[in-house]
Amino acid sequence: MKIAVCLKHVVTRDAAVRVDEARTWIRDRDASFELNEPDAYALEEALRLKEKHGGEVVVCSAGPARASQVIREALARGADRAIHVEADALASADAFAVADALAAAVRDEKFDLVLTGLQSDDQGFGQVGVVLAEKLSMPHATIIMEVQASESGLRVKRELEGGWFQWVTLPLPAVLTIQSGINQLRYATLKGIMAAKKKEIRKVAPAAAQANQRILRVYFPEKGKKTHMITGSAGDAAKELVTRLRDDARVL
């Protein structure tokens, strides 16, 4: 089974980020970065499928040069080779541009299965996987908690709302977006780190793509206090309070 895993290089969760001069993204030079957590689970699932069924795991990342950090990490964990669509603009690109870049890079590889994390820790739109499936003309399933592969196709377990789950069957090739917690992550061994230095990382120029959305402004939540005094009798005050909670705050 030939499996592609899409990885993203994101700001660490506890990083103290600053907005850049254009106020449209963060100052990359001031931040520390790591492998996107849901993508780490997607990588682990791919490695487990390879161990069970044989084949090859290829990691793919669309981002600036610094994304090579997570590519090397994935190779050290056991991926066979990598494809890096390198462009600074992809660091803050929308899901359509990223999916375009990834689709162009992997289309000719004829993968049996393409895995992505459910969403990224920075933008969190959860759209790259499903848009990528459309670009590659592949069936897809989202929020995957278990994968069973066979010669006839896939049987996957999807997480729904309210503690419900759903089993779905679909043919190969296919795209799956993996939920965090699907498995237990492994760590890179010293042997794996040394072997990663000899593994292929193929760099690809991004395909020309037009963004479908644009970030106008990035800012920290603005703090403020606003107090409204409700006067009158207890009965009148209670009625006004209920009205404001229902119509203004919309919590009732």
The better pLDDT of the pair 37, 252 is held by: 37
What's residue 230's pLDDT? 87
Which amino acid would we find at residue 252? L
What's residue 114's pLDDT? 97
The proportion of the chain whose per-residue pLDDT surpasses 90, expressed as a percent, equals 65
- Taking 70 as the threshold, does the pLDDT of residue 207 lie above it? yes
Q: Which residues pair with 117 in a beta bridge?
A: 178
Residue 240 lies in a domain: no
- Taking 80 as the threshold, does the pLDDT of residue 208 lie above it? no
Residue 227 to residues 5, 69, 110, 189, 230, Cα–Cα distance (Å): 51, 49, 61, 57, 10
Residue 214 lies in a domain: no
Contact indicator for 38, 118 with CB cutoff of 8 Å: yes
Which amino acid would we find at residue 158? R
pLDDT level of residue 77 (50, 70, 90 thresholds):
very high
CATH number at residue 16: 3.40.50.620
Residue 194 lies in a domain: yes
Mean pLDDT within 19-35: 83
Residue 54 lies in a domain: yes
pLDDT single digits (tens) 162-195: 889 999 999 999 999 999 999 999 999 999 999 9
Residue 222 lies in a domain: no
- Taking 70 as the threshold, does the pLDDT of residue 209 lie above it? no
Distance CA(44)–CA(163), nearest Å, equals 24
- Taking 90 as the threshold, does the pLDDT of residue 93 lie above it? no
Structural domains of the chain, count: 1
What's residue 30's pLDDT? 77
- Tell whether pTM > 0.85: no
pLDDT single digits (tens) 109-165: 999 999 999 999 888 889 999 999 999 999 999 999 999 998 889 999 999 988 899
- Taking 80 as the threshold, does the pLDDT of residue 87 lie above it? yes
Mean pLDDT of the chain: 91
Q: Which of 140, 136, 175 is nearest to 3 (CA)?
A: 175
Q: How is 211-222 classified by DSSP, letter by letter?
A: -S-------PPP
Residue 128 lies in a domain: yes
What crossing angle do the helices spanning 37-53 and 68-77 adopt, rounded to 10°?
Answer: 30
Token pair, residue 17, equals: 């980020």
Token pair, residue 244, equals: 């404001």
Provide the 8-state DSSP code for 45.
Answer: H
Say how many residues make up the chain.
252
The runs of H, that is alpha helices, within the chain are 37-53, 68-77, 95-106, 128-136, 190-196, 234-247
Residue 219 lies in a domain: no
Range of the domain at 134: 2-204
Provide the 8-state DSSP code for 180.
Answer: T
What's residue 212's pLDDT? 78
The better pLDDT of the pair 57, 152 is held by: 57
- Taking 90 as the threshold, does the pLDDT of residue 5 lie above it? yes
- Taking 90 as the threshold, does the pLDDT of residue 17 lie above it? no
Residue 210 to residues 30, 90, 96, Cα–Cα distance (Å): 28, 12, 8
The proportion of the chain whose per-residue pLDDT surpasses 70, expressed as a percent, equals 99
What's residue 26's pLDDT? 78
